[in-house]
């Protein structure tokens, strides 16, 4: 297993839709292990393959919600959700991202989500949840569609994020950070 560098907003690999996985072998299983290890080292809730520069449609998650641990991975996911909110999100409804290190913005998400797909052996899997788990499933599936959570921001939150991207110089590709080696950008 290996910890991999995490790409930062501005890299085109984060905005390119993932490609479906067609080969289920030892290399894929080793890569999924790397995603788990990288996510753990980064203190993340989830991590998509394109965040470490791999184009395949895979994500892992490992989080605590309502006192219960939720851990899994999905290859070639399909997402279903409750209706998305159409108003400004609650200012305390913050979301962050390992590819937008150190930043958090109010982001509207559906309260319920279900992801179906297969695991690294090609066996069917399904994960469903409310609240934080639902947010994570939506967030990671968005990554594989080539979207950062910043794309979902509206109004003043969208404007603030655009200014932050410019200020940090994240409009150019090639920026990354290394979990376990670089200072944790979220302070965890």
Q: Which two tokens stand for residue 39?
A: 């996510």
Distance, CA of 33 to CA of 20 (rounded, Å):
19
Q: Active-site positions?
A: 140
Beta bridge pairs of residue 105: 95
Contact 99, 6 (CB under 8 A): yes
Distance, CA of 75 to CA of 22 (rounded, Å):
10
Cβ neighbour number for residue 132 with a 10 Å cutoff = 16
- Is 70 labelled a binding residue? no
Give the three-state DSSP class for 124: strand
- Is 73 labelled a binding residue? no
Helical (H) or strand (E) element with 146: none
Transcribe 46-98 into DSSP letters: EEEGGGGT--BSEEEEEEEETTEEEEEEEEEEEEEESPPP-SPPPTT-EEE-T
Enter the DSSP assignment of 147. -
- Is 143 labelled a binding residue? yes
Which residue ranges are tagged as binding site?
A: 97, 139, 143
Which residue ranges are tagged as binding site for Fe cation?
A: 97, 139, 143
């Amino acid at each position: 297993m290996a910890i991999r560098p995490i790409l930062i907003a501005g890299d085109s690999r984060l905005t390119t839709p993932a490609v479906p996985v067609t080969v289920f072998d030892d290399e894929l299983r080793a890569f999924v292990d790397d995603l788990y290890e990288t996510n753990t080292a980064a203190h993340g809730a989830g991590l998509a393959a394109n965040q470490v520069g791999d184009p395949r449609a895979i994500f892992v998650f490992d989080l605590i919600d309502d006192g219960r641990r939720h851990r899994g991975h999905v290859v070639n996911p399909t997402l279903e959700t409750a209706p998305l909110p159409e108003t400004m999100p609650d200012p305390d409804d913050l979301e962050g991202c390992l590819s937008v290190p150190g930043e958090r913005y109010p982001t509207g998400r559906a309260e319920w989500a279900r992801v179906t797909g297969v695991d690294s052996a090609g066996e069917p899997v399904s994960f469903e949840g409310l609240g934080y788990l639902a947010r994570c499933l939506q967030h990671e599936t968005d990554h594989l569609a080539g979207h950062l959570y910043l794309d979902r921001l509206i109004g003043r939150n969208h404007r603030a994020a655009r200014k932050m991207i410019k200020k940090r110089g994240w409009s150019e590709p090639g920026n990354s950070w290394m979990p376990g080696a670089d200072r944790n950008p979220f302070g965890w």
